[in-house]
Amino acid sequence: MTVGLAPGGETMTEPDHSRLRSLALLTCALVALATAAGAAPAAAQQTTVVRTIQDRDRDNRLEPAPGEPYVVRPELGQATPGREQRRQSRVFFGQFTDMHVVDEESPLRVEFLDRFGPPFTSAYRPHEGVTPQVLNEMAAQIRNTTSPATRRRLELVMTTGDNTDNTQRNETRWMIDVMDGGTQVNPNSGVEGSCGTTPDGKLYDGVRGGNEYYEPDSSATPGADNEDGPGYSPDQAENQREAQRSNAVRDFPGLFESMNRPFRATGLGLPWYGIFGNHDALVQGNQPRNPALEAVATGCVKVNRLSPGTESTVRGLAGSGARPEELPGLDAVSAELIRAAADPQGFGGTAVVVPPDPQRKPLRKSEYIQEHFNTRGTPAGHGFTAENVATGQGNYAFRPKPGVRFLVLDSVAEAGGPNGNIDEGQFQWIHRQLVEAEAAREVVMAFAHHSLRTMDMPPVSPFGVGDQGGDYDPQVHYGEKASGEPTPRPCVLTDPATPPTPDETLRCLFLRHRSVVGFVVGHEHLNRVAPNERRPGTGPAEGGFWELTTAAHIDWPQQSRTLDLVDNADGNLSIFATMIDHSAPPNPGGAPAPAGGQGAAGQSPQRLASISRELSYNDPDAGNGEDGRADARGGRDDRNVELVVRNPYGGG
């Protein structure tokens, strides 16, 4: 691999002033044309090639940091000299993933599990209620992005799943409305005055403080904080003592009220496409929905502590180190939520009465798809079709540009569990699509929520059958290996026309179809780029496909990607993958204060998104590269990269 190339592919030395003057003249001409046509000119947005965001001085606050030039990765193709003058963009698009737009006040949430540790550490985040504003600022940032490699404007955006957190109707509507823009979005939930609640004028009715959660409005004297839970204090020494983290979660008074106020959504102003993640189809991303869980979600009983018996069960599950599908009794928590809704005084734990909301209904897969047809944006349905509504399956294909086919997969394991798989019927459909693409000499970019290594859920789970719909076929295909297998399954690269075998993996199917050059995914909440050689050791001689896993909006570093597929006109293609930070500033600022570092939250979506990024970096469960944790940003060769891959149809 090669490091140190500038956006246009040149070695980074002194600026080429003649080239800059030419670009300036071209920009002026384009602005003049746009103005003459009646269009409002839009400024190009900044990418991480120009500037990044990091904690440069280890003070738990974020600052602007130097940009990162592209790393050239030639593992699957030849990076020939002069390609920067020859290359032509085939399609330039963005990827949003793991937005987790969340109704943080819902009775169906399970924040009380977070304190038990893995695998429950994503049950609560101090900033989770700011997800609509983060999405708004990501849309505002990316809508006018130009490719640092080709200077082309962004053409469309793919969302690779977990767009919502708990498959609720209100979360789905917030997500669609923010993506579409041009409307007022009210991210609050709960109808005050119902279930005997007394209207108190306050918007927020979720968890806070109590020596268990984050309390943004006030914290006790540092070192004696009995309001924030372990790891959520503004005092670093206290967090190190209680949670073994060197973070500091400063106070933002009024945050919980501010994040629930309506705001006008900016919107993408671009075509965007939906893709299923496990959180879009399963309750909390794990359990099939059913009428009893729907009653919990739309009811008024919010559990804040489990019964001693269920707590003991959960503590044993958390300490077992087993995978979710290996955990008998995993549904004990949802069973307790159902009992509490029926008998809040006698179920054995503790609960509070909260304002209920019928819009918290968990959606069936067909209902989730149908919501995408109620839109101000384009295209209608956002990729989903009438057939998807009828079947409850989310796979579809389309051609964004001549010679390019996008293949969207539904990797949800309908029987339950956080990881994914591909059912037999869809696997055969993928094969047929690739045969058609190759007959038409189309290059294929494939998309799913789950990565190859997390597409390993067996066709059974510890949960009961639900009613969310989809395909419950017991014959499934894995990404590269089944759960529990030590290494990926070897590939037998038969003729591409040969129908798939029952044990063929998705990786092997992609490798024997040369049309596939990229597989774009999420789910892991980190940046990772991995080559898949057609045959071990052949590298650029035979090519293969790149898998690009992108970090989440809800967790540090709160980034998206753009991908510019270009033809180098030498028998090779390149995928320029570029990380994008949302438009909020690195540091939200705030009124100076003693050790607490307090600052009023403010109400603008941009400032709230800035606060969210800082809180995500200081979340005690954050993968921020400190205290022995991996950095979800990935390595340099996982971020701004030129991925060279052999053109499946030659050329040059």
Instruction: Give domain limits for the chain.
Output: 2-36, 89-192+260-329+358-646
3-state secondary structure of 351: strand
Distances (CA, A) of 629 to 46, 621, 635: 29, 9, 13
Region 33-53: what's the mean pLDDT? 62
Region 85-93: what's the mean pLDDT? 96
pLDDT of 232 higher than 80: yes
pLDDT of res. 45: 75
Averaged confidence pLDDT in the chain: 90
pLDDT of res. 221: 67
**Four-residue CA torsion sign, 621, 622, 627, 629:** positive
d(CA 400, CA 155): 9
Q: What is the pLDDT of residues 292-318, one digit of tens each?
A: 999 999 999 999 999 999 999 888 888
Predicted structure pTM score: 0.92
Region 529-541: what's the mean pLDDT? 95
Using the structure block, give the residue that is written with the tokens 């780029």: 529
Using the structure block, give the residue that is written with the tokens 């500033």: 585
> What is the b/e burial string over 267-294, where b = at least 16 CB atoms within 10 angstroms of the residue's CB?
bbbbbbbbbbbbbbbbbbbbbbbbeebb
pLDDT of res. 35: 30
Strands 156-159 and 272-273 come out as: parallel
Nearest-5° Cα angle at 413, 408 to 415: 150
Helix (H) or strand (E) holding 626: none
pLDDT of 36 higher than 80: no
Compute CA 469 distance to the chain's CA centroid, rounded to the nearest angstrom: 23
* DSSP structural state of residue 10: S
d(CA 456, CA 124): 25
> What is the b/e burial string over 11-24, where b = at least 16 CB atoms within 10 angstroms of the residue's CB?
eeeeeeeeeeeeee
pLDDT of res. 567: 97
Region 345-358: what's the mean pLDDT? 94
Instruction: Indicate the residue type of 167.
Output: T
pLDDT of res. 41: 40
pLDDT of 40 higher than 60: no
Region 78-97: what's the mean pLDDT? 96
d(CA 310, CA 306): 6
- Residue 538, C-beta contacts closer than 8 angstroms, at least 6 positions apart: none
CATH class for the region spanning 89-192+260-329+358-646: alpha beta
Region 86-107: what's the mean pLDDT? 97
As given in the structure block, the two tokens for residue 639 are: 């971020």
As given in the structure block, the two tokens for residue 341 are: 């809704």
Q: What is the pLDDT of residues 428-453, one digit of tens each?
A: 999 999 999 999 999 999 999 999 99
pLDDT of res. 44: 63
